[in-house]
Amino acid sequence: MPRMILNHGRYFTGENFELVEGAVVIDDGRIVSIGVKDGDRPDDVEIDLKGASVIPGLMDAHCHLIYRDVADPYDIELRKSIAEATIDAVFNASTLLDCGFTTVRDVGSRGNIGVEVRNAINRGDVRGPRVQPAGRILSAPGGLADFHPSHIFEGRQYPYGLGVQVVGPHEARAEVRRQLKDGVDWIKVGVSGTGFNPLCPAERNGLSEAEFEAVMNEARLQGVPVAAHAESAEAVRAAARLGAQTIEHGIYIDEASVSDMVLNGVTLSPTLSMYRAFAVRGGEMGIPAVIVDQHKRTHARHAESVRLAFESGVPIVAGGDAGLTHFPQGNCAEEAVSYVEIVGMSSRESLRTLTVNVARLLGILDDVGTIDVGKRADLVVIDGDPLGDLSLLQRADLRRYVLLDGEIVAGTAALN
Ligand SMILES: [Zn+2]
């Protein structure tokens, strides 16, 4: 396989995005030199970047590959068959790559779609980013992912939902084992409600402590990480105390929970932009008023929580939770912009939430997440200075190349 030489580029290298200009040499998918070429080989393939910027491939820590044109829970679970949801997930995986996302964590799917899409991408059957999937969201009856009034299924569990309802610690443990058998990389658990579920708001607690503890214990025994959806103060406290690998959303973080997060190395995945966008533009984009109103009620508190966590040294990862009508797939880079505007991060700190912080969380920082010699060449080449203005990351017209594993897979110049 010939080497690829990227020439005349501006490379944001290492965890601190130190600027290096010149050439990057890629051999067999990995970066072998940065700055100077180590001599020409006759079959080298050289690409002139004409002064464009090169950053690590973007990473979305809170993705649902099945979400497409979603306005409410009905759209996720009932409007589409499992077959249609699978097609959506394949379509979205391709879109994410086009948008510069080379790695995503899928934090909840119907059936076992996230796992199957990961496997199909790994086999080379379909195009898409690296995927670390969870399965169905472990929830309680009346909890996060129990979206429909009791009369609809006459109290029976809907088998094709985004969530699986567990009752008691034994069922919780059994479901963790079942999902591991089916190939998940993560366990997603709904500890509290959400503004997106009109039947179980953010402040309501879903799983009992015994059930959540059982999930954590089984996951620890099996060595699988846990993403805990926790919005209420009690849910956040429990997830922080029990040491879930991530807290998703974290609307009501307080001093007590933040010190446990630091103590137990818990990462926060706030999805602040998507939640904020519910309040700001959801109404005009067809999101039901009850969902818009819940997010209007919680946005200021949510922002305060993310600031508290960030200032206390909690690692933060950017997650899109995208695929809704007001926040389409691939929109996760808006999260990095929000961290600068609302949370007070520098653009460097914020770019880390889209790259290195996610790679560390997913345990793949040795391979990807920064531009360094020895790492896999997952890269985005864009015109302009992304650290000067992170909103450039969302501009499709500036995205010249996307590289996955040293191969050009997307970008405006890739089409020429
Ligand atoms: Zn989500």
What pLDDT, in 10s, does the model give residues 317-345? 999 999 999 999 999 999 999 999 999 99
Rounded to the nearest angstrom, the distance between the alpha carbon of 403 and the centre of ligand 1 is 27
The predicted pLDDT at position 39 comes to 78
- The residue out of 340, 362, 384 marking a domain boundary is 362
CB-CB contact of 132 with 185 (8 Å): yes
The predicted pLDDT at position 118 comes to 98
Rounded to the nearest angstrom, the distance between the alpha carbon of 55 and the centre of ligand 1 is 26
Domain co-membership, 245 together with 173: yes
pLDDT of 38 strictly over 80? no
The tokens describing 283, both together, are 């109404």
- Percent of the chain at pLDDT > 70 equals 100
> Which structural domain range is residue 46 located in?
4-56+368-415
Rounded to the nearest angstrom, the distance between the alpha carbon of 151 and the centre of ligand 1 is 26
Rounded to the nearest angstrom, the distance between the alpha carbon of 285 and the centre of ligand 1 is 19
The predicted pLDDT at position 156 comes to 86
Rounded to the nearest angstrom, the distance between the alpha carbon of 250 and the centre of ligand 1 is 12
Rounded to the nearest angstrom, the distance between the alpha carbon of 246 and the centre of ligand 1 is 13
Instruction: State the DSSP code for 17.
Output: T
- Judged on CB neighbours under 10 Å (0-12, 13-18, 19+), 193 is buried
Domain co-membership, 201 together with 251: yes
Rounded to the nearest angstrom, the distance between the alpha carbon of 234 and the centre of ligand 1 is 19
Whole-angstrom Cα distance, residue 411 to residue 416? 9
Does 156 or 15 have the greater pLDDT score? 15
The predicted pLDDT at position 416 comes to 57
Domain co-membership, 31 together with 104: no
Instruction: Place 415 in a pLDDT band, splitting at 50, 70 and 90.
Output: low
Rounded to the nearest angstrom, the distance between the alpha carbon of 311 and the centre of ligand 1 is 24
Average pLDDT over residues 372-397: 97
Please give the tally of structural domains in the chain.
Answer: 2
Rounded to the nearest angstrom, the distance between the alpha carbon of 274 and the centre of ligand 1 is 10
CATH number of the domain enclosing 399: 2.30.40.10
Whole-angstrom Cα distance, residue 72 to residue 292? 11
CATH number of the domain enclosing 183: 3.20.20.140
The tokens describing 300, both together, are 């200021």
The predicted pLDDT at position 246 comes to 98
Rounded to the nearest angstrom, the distance between the alpha carbon of 69 and the centre of ligand 1 is 14
Whole-angstrom Cα distance, residue 10 to residue 285? 38
Interior/surface letters 235-263, b for 16+ CB within 10 angstroms, e for the rest: bbbbbbbbbbbbbbbbbbbeeebbebbee
Whole-angstrom Cα distance, residue 373 to residue 363? 18
Rounded to the nearest angstrom, the distance between the alpha carbon of 18 and the centre of ligand 1 is 33
Domain co-membership, 219 together with 277: yes
Least confident segment among 109-123, 136-150, 226-240, 362-376 = 136-150
Rounded to the nearest angstrom, the distance between the alpha carbon of 107 and the centre of ligand 1 is 6
Domain co-membership, 66 together with 43: no
Rounded to the nearest angstrom, the distance between the alpha carbon of 45 and the centre of ligand 1 is 41
Domain co-membership, 91 together with 78: yes
State the helix-helix crossing angle for 233-242 and 209-222, rounded to 10 degrees.
30
Rounded to the nearest angstrom, the distance between the alpha carbon of 415 and the centre of ligand 1 is 33
Average pLDDT over residues 16-30: 97
Rounded to the nearest angstrom, the distance between the alpha carbon of 375 and the centre of ligand 1 is 30
Rounded to the nearest angstrom, the distance between the alpha carbon of 332 and the centre of ligand 1 is 12
3-state class (DSSP) for residue 328: coil
- Percent of the chain at pLDDT > 90 equals 95
Domain co-membership, 332 together with 386: no
Rounded to the nearest angstrom, the distance between the alpha carbon of 75 and the centre of ligand 1 is 14
Instruction: Place 155 in a pLDDT band, splitting at 50, 70 and 90.
Output: confident
Average pLDDT in the chain: 96
Rounded to the nearest angstrom, the distance between the alpha carbon of 61 and the centre of ligand 1 is 10
Bridge partners (DSSP) listed for residue 130:
103
State the helix-helix crossing angle for 168-181 and 209-222, rounded to 10 degrees.
30
The tokens describing 61, both together, are 């820590």
The pTM of this model reads 0.97
Residue 386: CB atoms within 10 Å: 24
Domain co-membership, 280 together with 334: yes
Rounded to the nearest angstrom, the distance between the alpha carbon of 261 and the centre of ligand 1 is 20
Rounded to the nearest angstrom, the distance between the alpha carbon of 220 and the centre of ligand 1 is 22
Domain co-membership, 245 together with 309: yes
Rounded to the nearest angstrom, the distance between the alpha carbon of 62 and the centre of ligand 1 is 6
Domain co-membership, 377 together with 332: no
Rounded to the nearest angstrom, the distance between the alpha carbon of 176 and the centre of ligand 1 is 19
Q: What type of residue sits at position 331?
A: N
Domain co-membership, 358 together with 249: yes
- The residue out of 362, 387, 406 marking a domain boundary is 362
pLDDT of 151 strictly over 80? yes
Rounded to the nearest angstrom, the distance between the alpha carbon of 321 and the centre of ligand 1 is 5
pLDDT of 51 strictly over 80? yes
pLDDT of 397 strictly over 80? yes
Q: Which one, of 232, 322, 316, lies nearest residue 278 by Cα? A: 322
Domain co-membership, 48 together with 125: no
State the helix-helix crossing angle for 82-98 and 113-123, rounded to 10 degrees.
50
Rounded to the nearest angstrom, the distance between the alpha carbon of 64 and the centre of ligand 1 is 6
Bridge partners (DSSP) listed for residue 10:
21, 53
